[in-house]
Amino acid sequence: MSESPKKVIVGMSGGVDSSVSAWLLLQQGYKVEGLFMKNWEEDDGEEYCTAAADLADAQAVCDKLGIELHTVNFAAEYWDNVFEHFLAEYKAGRTPNPDILCNKEIKFKAFLEFAAEDLGADYIATGHYVRRADVDGKSQLLRGLDGNKDQSYFLYTLGHEQIAQSLFPVGELEKPEVRKIAEDLGLVTAKKKDSTGICFIGERKFREFLGRYLPAQPGKIITVDGDAIGEHQGLMYHTLGQRKGLGIGGIKEGSEDPWYVVDKDVENNILIVAQGHDHPRLMSVGLIAQQLHWVDRQPLKGTLRCTVKTRYRQTDIPCTITALDDERIDVRFDEPVAAVTPGQSAVFYSGEICLGGGIIEQRLPLTAV
């Protein structure tokens, strides 16, 4: 007697990647159902009422593919485990990455548990551009085949046991192939643009949005030489390496180069700027990372040669990492790196394999060496 097909619940976002993921899994012989997650309930004026449109698109795709679509509300989990942390980090003057926390707490925790326990799933699937490899009984996380779309940076907090329960069908394809499949199938999502903005909250005027939850705290903008040249409305609105939106474009100090944020003095609420995107004050020779996650769940001992990304879409940087203890590591780059930002994630690779990563606690500036 043949085994019944394994059941996969696909996280249907109403986008093209999850739509094609569902179709690919059907072709591979799985029993496929969709799940649409509603994770934000705060304000939804008409301008931001995208959730209803996304649900309609997800339903249209599921109808076309002949699969059932479930819905679930994780708004409480999102608020408690993602959004409050996001606000606390901004309030502390750091720049968090909500997509990483959202994957950790919602897509590969709340969704994974709900799919397994309530819907009887053997696996979940998402439209992430990553790949999975099973080696010696453990699942590894690999970069997506499409280097332009690889999303392993956002999934480094996953352990091998979560990856073993997850399928990533579009990770083996390039984005144009995915869109072509959707077009050939006549899916409503074929030409839909990729979502951007804050995970599950979407695109909105960031300054205005953050201002609803955190009061503005104006302070001085000073140059690296100590000259006050303007006022900021809150350190939370600025990140290292930022050029636009500083309101000091007309001011020049012996150079025509634009101004960049090179540091934040959180204690004194001061934003520090310099002219030129490669100003030495913006460069770092390394970083200290904490809140570590290793995909194989084995803490690093001693030292390791690998590569690191300190932000998404960055070219890999060769580095040496040294364990300070189980919770913190010292990372030294082979070459200085610009705009290493506390609160963001440092993610480590060995070739195609994503090893894991951690939160940047502090940068080690070039100028202090």
Looking at residue 98, which CATH number applies to its domain?
3.40.50.620
Domain range for residue 171? 7-185
Cβ(330)–Cβ(321) under 8 Å?
yes
Q: Which two tokens stand for residue 328?
A: 């913190």
* 319 catalytic residue (yes or no): no
Same domain for 293 and 257: no
- 186 belongs to an annotated ligand binding site: no
Same domain for 151 and 77: yes
- 127 belongs to an annotated ligand binding site: yes
* 354 catalytic residue (yes or no): no
Residues 211-218: contacts with CB under 8 Å, at least 24 apart: 212/43, 213/87, 214/87, 214/90, 214/91, 217/269
10-66: per-residue pLDDT in tens?
999 999 999 999 999 999 999 999 999 988 876 655 445 678 889 999 999 999 999
Overall number of domains in the chain: 3
**Domain annotation covers residue 190:** no
Mean pLDDT by 10 residues, the chain (369 residues): 84 95 98 93 58 91 98 91 88 84 93 97 97 94 96 97 97 96 95 68 66 86 91 87 80 76 91 89 96 94 97 95 94 96 95 97 81
Catalytic residue among 102, 306, 319, 354: 102
275-319: per-residue pLDDT in tens?
888 889 999 999 999 999 999 989 999 999 999 999 998 999 999
Catalytic residue among 49, 62, 199, 354: 199
Where among 164, 185, 206 does a domain terminate? 185
- 144 belongs to an annotated ligand binding site: no
Same domain for 179 and 59: yes
For residue 120, which amino acid is it?
G
